[in-house]
Structures are given as structure tokens and as C-alpha cells.
Amino acid sequence: MYKRNNGSLLERTLHNGAVVGVDRADKEVVNGELYAVWLPYQGTVIKRLYLDSKKILLQSDNEEFRSRDVEVDITDLDEHFIQGRVKWVVQML
């Protein structure tokens, strides 16, 4: 379950308490799609990913948290960074 006590980083897409289905076999990055990723300082989080030749931008849908967007150098990634692609969401509207 994706849940944050003080609001969601992806609040415009995922509401607090949403249940998210992640396909752990689908780790190939498609620009603009949602993925579960492992951040050492936060654990597993849901982010929208954008890929270029040298980095991946991890972006929050909620504009209030855009200052916390993270760029990750592709050469620094380990095999556990991308946990899988979000395939479905169950939530209250």
C-alpha cells in the first residue's frame, strides 16, 4: 500500500491510502510512466521517471514537492533501484 501520513508526493495521481500494483518483471523505463524505485534514504517510493542518456529524473506529480525531484546518474544505479512499473491503482476518488 502506498501511504504517507502528511500527504502524497503523487497526490494528484495517487490518493493517500491507494493500493498500487507493481509488475516487478517490468523494469525497462518508459518516459513519463510510474515506477516503484528504491531510495536508500526513503525506501521504496512511487515516482514518475524520465530517462536521458546519462541520468534518470525521478519526479513527483504533486507540484508542492517538485523541489524534491531527484536526478540519478545511470552509472550509479544498482540492480535493485527500479523495483517495477506501476500497472494498476485502487483508490477512493
The CA-to-CA distance between both ends of the chain, in Å, stands at: 16
CATH number for the domain that contains residue 74: 2.10.109.10
* DSSP 8-state symbol, 21: E
In the numeric block, which cell numbers belong to residue 93? 476518488
37: in domain = yes
pLDDT for 59-86, tens place per residue?
988 788 777 778 889 888 888 999 999 9
CB–CB of 3/50 below 8 Å?
no
11: in domain = no
Q: How many CB atoms lie within 10 A of CB 83?
A: 17
Domain with 43 in it = 19-90
pLDDT for 12-50, tens place per residue?
678 888 999 999 999 999 999 999 999 888 899 999 999
- In angstroms, rounded to a whole number, what is the distance separating the alpha carbons of residues 13 and 81? 22
- For the question of whether the overall pTM of this predicted structure is more than 0.85, the answer is no
Q: How many domains does the chain have?
A: 1
